[in-house]
A and B are shown apart, each in its own frame.
Chain A
Amino acid sequence: MGMKKRVKVAEQDPKIRATNFDEVCLGYTEDEAVEEATRCLNCKNPMCVTKCPVAIDIPGFIKHVKNKEFVEAVKVIAKYSALPAVCGRVCPQETQCESKCVLGIKGDAIAIGKLERFVGDYSRENNVDISETKPKNGKKVAVIGSGPSGLTCAGDLARDGYDVTIFEALHEAGGVLVYGIPQFRLPKETVVKHEVENVKKLGVKLETNVIVGRTVTIKQLMEEEDFKAVFIGSGAGLPMFMGIPGENLNGVFSANEFLTRNNLMKAYKEGYKTPIRVGTKVAVVGGGNVAMDSVRTAVRLGAEGHIVYRRSESELPARAEEVHHAKEEGVIMDLLVNPVEILGDEKGNVIGMKCIRMQLGEPDASGRRRPIAIKGSEFTIDVDTVIMSLGTSPNPLIPLTTEGLDINKRKCIVAEEGTGLTSIEKVYAGGDAVSGAATVILAMEAGKKAAKAINEMLTK
Chain B
Amino acid sequence: MYKIVEKKALAPQIFLMDIEAPRVAKSAKPGQFIIVKMDEKGERIPLTISDFDAKKGTVTIVVQTIGCSTKEMENYEIGDSFEDFVGPLGQATELMSESIEELKKKKIVFIAGGLGTAPVYPQVKWLSQQGVKADVIIGAKAKEYVIMEEKMRKVAGNVYPCTDDGSYGYKGLVTNKLKELVQDEGKKYDLVVAIGPMIMMKFVCKLTEELKIKTIVSMNPIMVDGTGMCGGCRLTVDGETKFACVDGPEFDGHKVDFAEAMRRQTMYKSQEGSQKQGIKPGCGLEGGTK
Beyond A214-B87, A215-B24, A260-B229, whether A274 also contacts B44 by CB under 8 A is yes
Q: Mark A288-312, 1 if CB is under 8 A from B, else 0.
A: 0000000000000111000000000
Q: Which residue of A lies closest to B230 (CB)?
A: A257
In contact, A171 and B277 (Cβ under 8 angstroms): no
A169 within 8 A of B: yes
B53 within 8 A of A: no
In contact, A209 and B281 (Cβ under 8 angstroms): no
In contact, B231 and A257 (Cβ under 8 angstroms): yes
A397 within 8 A of B: yes
C-alpha gap A239/B41 in the complex (Å): 25
C-alpha gap A214/B89 in the complex (Å): 7
In contact, A273 and B241 (Cβ under 8 angstroms): no
In contact, B268 and A277 (Cβ under 8 angstroms): yes
B235 cross-chain contacts in A, Cβ below 8 A? 248
B88 cross-chain contacts in A, Cβ below 8 A? 214-215
B232 cross-chain contacts in A, Cβ below 8 A? 253-254, 257
C-alpha gap A184/B134 in the complex (Å): 55
In contact, B278 and A303 (Cβ under 8 angstroms): yes
In contact, A273 and B225 (Cβ under 8 angstroms): no
Beyond A171-B84, A273-B43, A275-B281, whether A348 also contacts B263 by CB under 8 A is yes
C-alpha gap A220/B267 in the complex (Å): 39
B87 cross-chain contacts in A, Cβ below 8 A? 211, 214-215
B282 cross-chain contacts in A, Cβ below 8 A? 267, 272-276
Taking residues whose C-beta sits less than 8 angstroms from the other chain, chain B's interface range is 35 or more
- Residues of B274-290 whose CB lies within 8 A of A: 274, 277-284
A422 within 8 A of B: no
B268 cross-chain contacts in A, Cβ below 8 A? 275, 277
C-alpha gap A208/B21 in the complex (Å): 12
Nearest chain B CB to A444's CB is how many angstroms away?
21
C-alpha gap A395/B228 in the complex (Å): 7
- Residues of A220-277 whose CB lies within 8 A of B: 237-239, 241, 243, 247-248, 250-251, 253-254, 256-257, 260-261, 265-268, 271-277
Beyond A209-B86, A256-B231, A274-B43, whether A267 also contacts B278 by CB under 8 A is no
B199 within 8 A of A: no
In contact, A210 and B227 (Cβ under 8 angstroms): no
Beyond A215-B24, A248-B236, A265-B44, whether A279 also contacts B278 by CB under 8 A is yes
B227 cross-chain contacts in A, Cβ below 8 A? 169-170, 211, 237, 395, 397
A216 within 8 A of B: yes
A170 cross-chain contacts in B, Cβ below 8 A? 225, 227
In contact, A238 and B229 (Cβ under 8 angstroms): yes
Q: CB within 8 A of A273: which of B23, B68, B229, B279?
A: B68
A410 within 8 A of B: no
Beyond A215-B86, A261-B224, A303-B278, whether A273 also contacts B231 by CB under 8 A is no
B69 within 8 A of A: yes
Nearest chain B CB to A355's CB is how many angstroms away?
21
In contact, B41 and A277 (Cβ under 8 angstroms): no
A267 cross-chain contacts in B, Cβ below 8 A? 280, 282
Q: Which residue of A lies closest to B27 (CB)?
A: A215
A247 cross-chain contacts in B, Cβ below 8 A? 241
A280 within 8 A of B: yes
Nearest chain B CB to A180's CB is how many angstroms away?
10
B266 within 8 A of A: yes
B229 cross-chain contacts in A, Cβ below 8 A? 179, 237-239, 256, 260, 392, 395
C-alpha gap A257/B235 in the complex (Å): 15
C-alpha gap A126/B88 in the complex (Å): 42
Beyond A238-B229, A250-B263, A261-B224, whether A302 also contacts B86 by CB under 8 A is no
A177 cross-chain contacts in B, Cβ below 8 A? none
A261 cross-chain contacts in B, Cβ below 8 A? 224
- Residues of B195-244 whose CB lies within 8 A of A: 224-225, 227-232, 234-236, 241
C-alpha gap A271/B72 in the complex (Å): 14
A243 cross-chain contacts in B, Cβ below 8 A? 241
In contact, A347 and B230 (Cβ under 8 angstroms): no
Q: Which residue of B lies closest to A347 (CB)?
A: B263
In contact, B86 and A241 (Cβ under 8 angstroms): no
The residue in A171, A266, A268, A273 that gathers the most chain B C-beta atoms within 10 A of its C-beta is A273
B179 within 8 A of A: no
In contact, B224 and A171 (Cβ under 8 angstroms): no
B107 within 8 A of A: no
Q: Which residue of B lies closest to A392 (CB)?
A: B229
In contact, B27 and A214 (Cβ under 8 angstroms): yes
Nearest chain A CB to B194's CB is how many angstroms away?
22
Q: Which residue of B lies closest to A261 (CB)?
A: B224
A268 cross-chain contacts in B, Cβ below 8 A? 280
A257 cross-chain contacts in B, Cβ below 8 A? 224, 230-232
B52 cross-chain contacts in A, Cβ below 8 A? none
Q: Which residue of B lies closest to A236 (CB)?
A: B229
A238 cross-chain contacts in B, Cβ below 8 A? 228-229
C-alpha gap A214/B91 in the complex (Å): 9
Beyond A211-B89, A257-B230, A395-B227, whether A272 also contacts B27 by CB under 8 A is no
In contact, B280 and A277 (Cβ under 8 angstroms): yes
B27 cross-chain contacts in A, Cβ below 8 A? 214-216
Report 12 cross-chain contacts, Cβ distance below 8 Å, ordered by A residue.
Answer: A169-B227, A171-B44, A209-B84, A209-B86, A211-B87, A215-B87, A238-B229, A257-B224, A267-B282, A273-B282, A275-B274, A277-B274
Cβ-closest 4 pairs across A and B: A275-B282, A257-B230, A237-B229, A275-B284
